[in-house]
């Protein structure tokens, strides 16, 4: 449906700009999936913007300065974000509740400032003119076409983003229903108890945080490639907060919650564009009303009240 139905509808209505919107939704949903996963071990992560920015920069630097192919830089960006997450996660994952939320929020600010200060990131000017992804061919057989040679790069990016999003959510679904997922649920409920029955909690939370940051880096790198530029302001504190909002709004109890939340929030924001300067006012009013009457998310899957405090 995503691959055939949506292009047909867009073709029929003639709203080609929806491709860009939906591509953004797919990419933001990837990053939001990471936030959701950190919530799965009972941590509120408002730092995904940091990892998205790291991913975007790593991919941009590898493509522009080192001349790598975009398709290799994409996993490299994710892995680098995961590595950073392991280093940072070692101290800060000991924090809980609002403390973790606040420190991850600060982390976003740290990465923005670092991007401004480091020479390799070009400071406030950022990295622009990133070339479009080139083609891939194995033994002379083309697997992916060169994006620059295509007539409709929007459609190409849309398909790419959707494929990555589906892979992400498939991985997430698999993870949640695996042994690791059960261990995560036990940690979400009570870390001490989980630890006392032999769950290696410090190991699991690092692994989960790394995976979630991998998603963040992936989404960010793809975003940089579509915009063909990265700036320190590409992902800011507000974006980190938005990633969290996507998860909360979709409902935290369901794997596909962040996907729905992203779709509703970003699409809603885009549709309200016609209201001009009242866009923000209407958007936030609707947001507040939704939370006021559906405090447990759109999917409203109820949690047991005895969860973590």
Contacts with another protein, residue ranges (CB under 8 A): 44, 88, 90-92, 94-99, 101-103, 105-107, 109-110, 113-114, 116-117, 237-238, 241, 244-245, 248-249, 252, 277-278, 280-281, 283-285, 287-288, 291-292, 295-296, 302-303, 305, 307, 309
> Of 14 and 91, which has the nearer Cβ to another protein?
91
> Of 117 and 148, which has the nearer Cβ to another protein?
117
> Of 179 and 302, which has the nearer Cβ to another protein?
302
Sign, CA dihedral 149-152-154-159, equals negative
* Residue 53 and residue 218 in contact, taking contact as beta carbons nearer than 8 Å: no
Rounded least distance, CB 102 to another protein, Å: 4
Please give the backbone phi and psi of residue 137, each rounded to the nearest 5 degrees, phi first: -140, 135
Rounded least distance, CB 299 to another protein, Å: 12
Rounded least distance, CB 269 to another protein, Å: 10
State both tokens at 152.
Answer: 């409709």
User: Whole-angstrom Cα distance, residue 77 to residue 27?
Assistant: 14
> Of 229 and 296, which has the nearer Cβ to another protein?
296
User: Whole-angstrom Cα distance, residue 249 to residue 286?
Assistant: 12
Rounded least distance, CB 237 to another protein, Å: 6
> Of 163 and 280, which has the nearer Cβ to another protein?
280
* Residue 35 and residue 101 in contact, taking contact as beta carbons nearer than 8 Å: no
Please give, one letter per residue, the 3-state secondary structure of 83-141.
Answer: HHHHHHHHHHCCCCHHHHHHHHHHHHHHHHHHHHHCCCCCHHHCEECCCCCCCEEECCE
Rounded least distance, CB 158 to another protein, Å: 28
């Amino acid at each position: 449906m995503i691959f055939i139905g949506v292009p047909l509808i867009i073709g029929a209505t003639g709203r080609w700009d929806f491709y860009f919107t939906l591509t953004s939704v797919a990419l933001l949903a990837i990053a939001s999936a990471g936030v959701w996963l950190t919530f799965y071990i009972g941590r509120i992560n408002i730092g995904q913007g940091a990892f998205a920015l790291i991913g975007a920069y790593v991919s941009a630097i590898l493509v522009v300065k080192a001349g790598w192919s975009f398709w290799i830089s994409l996993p490299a960006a994710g892995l680098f974000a995961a590595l950073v997450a392991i280093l940072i996660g070692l101290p800060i994952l000991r924090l809980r509740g609002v403390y973790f939320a606040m420190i991850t929020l600060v982390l976003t600010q740290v990465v923005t400032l670092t991007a401004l200060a480091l020479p390799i990131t070009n400071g406030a000017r950022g990295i622009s003119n990133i070339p479009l992804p080139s083609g891939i061919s194995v033994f002379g057989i083309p697997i992916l076409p060169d994006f620059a040679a295509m007539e409709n790069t929007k459609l190409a990016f849309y398909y790419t983003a959707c494929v990555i999003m589906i892979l992400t959510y498939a991985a997430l679904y698999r993870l949640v229903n695996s042994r690791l997922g059960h261990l995560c649920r036990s940690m979400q409920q009570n870390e001490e108890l989980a630890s006392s029955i032999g769950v290696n909690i410090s190991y699991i939370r690092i692994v989960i945080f790394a995976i979630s940051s991998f998603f963040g880096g992936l989404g960010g790198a793809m975003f940089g490639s579509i915009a063909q530029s990265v700036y320190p302001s590409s992902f800011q504190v507000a974006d980190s907060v938005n990633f969290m909002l996507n998860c909360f709004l979709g409902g935290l109890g369901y794997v596909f919650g962040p996907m729905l939340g992203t779709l509703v929030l970003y699409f809603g924001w885009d549709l309200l564009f016609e209201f001009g300067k009242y866009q923000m006012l209407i958007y936030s009013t609707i947001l507040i009303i939704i939370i006021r009457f559906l405090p447990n998310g759109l999917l409203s899957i109820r949690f047991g009240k005895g969860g973590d405090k």
